[in-house]
Structure 1
């Protein structure tokens, strides 16, 4: 099942394609949220801090793989929009080999340098062994992350955002059940949460790959298709590496912030771990909307539909603004109640710090919503270098302000650095889009 996003009403096309992505990512987030809730409730605040600290490292490494897959999917979408099936087949095979080899290298390096990574992250000695135990198990499942993200990006590039959702729902349910069984029944502690996650990831990844091989004619290869086309390799590498750089810069900045947060002690670490989960879950729909928007832009670029791209930009601004106003109000009003999902109500200090973070950052969700839209737009038209620039501005300011002001003004400086980074990046991003729209009008 594929979907041509170059036809029909622009707003309906984007929303109908984005909804399965959003629902799917809700279940994707349940992997880590389930770990955090069960670990926080049944093991304690220290274990929650360990999982939260590990999460930042894991997201950084997997973001490199995700960025490679997302970049390759832009090539797939453009070929699909242009109806060039031969080039599509060649790019699918070439990208799989290319990204697969990089994944193997990342996996080996991550396992070999685990201690060095944890020392760089200022991991407290009291948590060091727990964090290492959890993270090593997750690292062994990185290949499943590649398989799942590659085939999901392939499906989405040809307009199918529903099937990845189905496999994610199944995997999320398995993950939650295994979390409960491994932690509360078998008493495996933090390791049980890690085992539950990689088993669920493995199931979703392998299931998605099998579906693609059975249902997608685009990957029914003949012998003549199983070769690396150097020209296409350069094209895929260009898109993939630039997108991966953008994703890794984004998450490396977050990694540096996590290192700074770790220096404030276990209570702040636990508060940050819970608040960031709520934060990322709240604005996750606009992140997925940006990814759907990227596919919409890429297909229409391949089809030469510049006016349709302009209309899609206008519709997206309205949708993002409305959603973010609603979700910001919910998070501000219920910030303390949301924190108690992850931590016992008796942990008053942790809840207070987490609630403070949410009340500052959530007011500005519309800024990150626009930024995700800009990322999708520039990735879709092939100007990934602009996405990288926006990421450097956003995260560079966030890290710089945090490290500069936190020693004087405390943890609050880290919270305020986040919307400031979003705002400046948005100003730059919108100036480039205005230039693009002016060219269309001419």
Structure 2
């Protein structure tokens, strides 16, 4: 495989060719499947822990997962920054720049994850105290966390490689090894929790060790595949020195990655506030909302997958100098998301009662509450899905802080403001109407940003300047 940019045609994984909608959907589908697998993995492992070890152990993993999500937000930011820059380089047939960015991203996030894992192991006890983890769950959460932190550097690097491969138009390779890791994780959980066969009985730590082993095997297998297939986005020989990033690449990843990660923190922070407001309404409403979150998590997956695919596609079109197709990509992604999310909602609504009864039980009073909430709030995912898709285009152009402003305004100012204004009139239903108003506001502000703010010419000039200034 030549290290020079391809002169005779587009690189393998180029997303600037062919029908837009078909290319977009084919590229987004593996990521959508991967998102579903990750959620199923978490749900099945939660069932193993809850059924085999009880409620205290399940609460322990829930508290631990809060911390792991915060670390994921950081990785997501740097991963999206790398995806965009690699996509731009791939569209320009510039393999060397793509590899440089990959090396820089792996070096930077690898170092950060090692530090965070070390600190996590040392101070996990103190962090759990800050979270006010219930005493009954505290010791189990501590045992679980200290093992999971061992896997964090490997999981971080695996995620970074997967996101970078998607930037290079390869969504199939990450999916292969996510399937492998997921199957291993699910299978090893009961073996290591209970000590089946020759395995020791490790209790809740066994669930954590299952994740460590599955993640490690998936990582080694993916690296072996990349080099066995000589995929273009690999580092070899002198290129391994790029794992020690120059300031130029580091500055780019920090300036783009930190605010992208902050978007995840804003969304998760709004979710925490929402749970607090729901808890005020009592156990029935809280249980109903908890069950709905399990379902809504899947409803939101098409937007996340299509938004990431749009970001990679637009980045490649920027690199290839084909900005004339950018609006068409955004339109195709928005329509595809509306169709997929709408179909999922239409398929769910006739069967929402039996689905909710799986989580709550047929005789639970929370079922009726959940059905009422769903009738009011599930439509939120239609406008918010378009927002996420358009965010993908804006992210490819480096428009990041406007997205932060949109999310903060919609999820805090509008949602909380509407809640407090409407509560005296609507009571608990103010929660769900504020949810819908927030979603519609986020779409309106995003459309304003997309069509009215003068970001295209300015950001394109910066991208071209940066591209020309990075030596091959």
Which interval holds the TM-score relative to the shorter structure? 0.7 to 0.9
Q: Indicate the residue corresponding to 2:241 in structure 1.
A: 226
Pairwise mapping of residues 189-200 of structure 1 onto structure 2 (< 5 A)?
189-200=203-214
Match of 1:21 among 28, 31, 34: 31
Ranges in structure 1 where 5+ consecutive residues have no aligned partner: none
Change (3 A) 1:438 1:152: closer
1:250 aligns with 2:267: yes
Match of 1:331 among 348, 354, 376: 348
1:361 aligns with 2:377: yes
Q: Indicate the residue corresponding to 1:154 in structure 2.
A: 164
**TM-score by structure 2 length?**
0.81
Q: CA RMSD in A?
A: 3.4
Determine the C-alpha separation between the residues in 1 that align with 2:129 and 2:63: 12
Structure 1 residue 123 displacement after superposition: 4.1
1:85 aligns with 2:95: yes
Determine the C-alpha separation between the residues in 1 that align with 2:455 and 2:255: 27
Match of 1:95 among 95, 105, 110: 105
Determine the C-alpha separation between the residues in 1 that align with 2:145 and 2:340: 35
For 1:325, what is the secondary structure of its paired residue? helix
1:201 aligns with 2:215: yes
Pairwise mapping of residues 355-434 of structure 1 onto structure 2 (< 5 A)?
355-397=371-413, 400=416, 413-434=430-451
Change (3 A) 1:151 1:431: same
Structure 1 residue 19 displacement after superposition: 0.8
Q: Indicate the residue corresponding to 1:309 in structure 2.
A: 326
Match of 1:65 among 40, 54, 75: 75
Q: Indicate the residue corresponding to 2:186 in structure 1.
A: 176
Determine the C-alpha separation between the residues in 2 that align with 1:182 and 1:269: 33
Partner deviation per Cα, 1:137-162 (whole Å, 9 max, x = no partner): 33332212202211101211111101
Determine the C-alpha separation between the residues in 2 that align with 1:111 and 1:310: 47
For 1:226, what is the secondary structure of its paired residue? helix
Which moves more between the two structures, 199-208 or 176-185? 176-185
Structure 1 residue 106 displacement after superposition: 2.9
Is the contact between residue 147 and residue 206 of structure 1 (CA under 8 Å) also seen in structure 2? no
1:217 aligns with 2:217: no
Change (3 A) 1:280 1:252: same
Structure 1 residue 343 displacement after superposition: 5.2
Determine the C-alpha separation between the residues in 1 that align with 2:384 and 2:121: 33
Determine the C-alpha separation between the residues in 2 that align with 1:204 and 1:318: 34
Determine the C-alpha separation between the residues in 2 that align with 1:406 and 1:182: 50
Determine the C-alpha separation between the residues in 1 that align with 2:143 and 2:361: 24
Is the contact between residue 106 and residue 157 of structure 2 (CA under 8 Å) also seen in structure 1? no
For 2:300, what is the secondary structure of its paired residue? helix
Determine the C-alpha separation between the residues in 2 that align with 1:74 and 1:235: 11
Structure 1 residue 93 displacement after superposition: 1.4
For 1:141, what is the secondary structure of its paired residue? helix
Determine the C-alpha separation between the residues in 2 that align with 1:121 and 1:407: 29
Structure 1 residue 417 displacement after superposition: 4.0
Is the contact between residue 82 and residue 105 of structure 2 (CA under 8 Å) also seen in structure 1? yes
Q: Indicate the residue corresponding to 1:277 in structure 2.
A: 294
Determine the C-alpha separation between the residues in 1 that align with 2:214 and 2:241: 30
Ranges in structure 2 where 5+ consecutive residues have no aligned partner: 1-10, 458-472
Determine the C-alpha separation between the residues in 2 that align with 1:54 and 1:410: 33
Partner deviation per Cα, 1:286-328 (whole Å, 9 max, x = no partner): 2111111110111011112111111111212211112222212
Q: Indicate the residue corresponding to 2:65 in structure 1.
A: 55
Determine the C-alpha separation between the residues in 1 that align with 2:280 and 2:149: 24
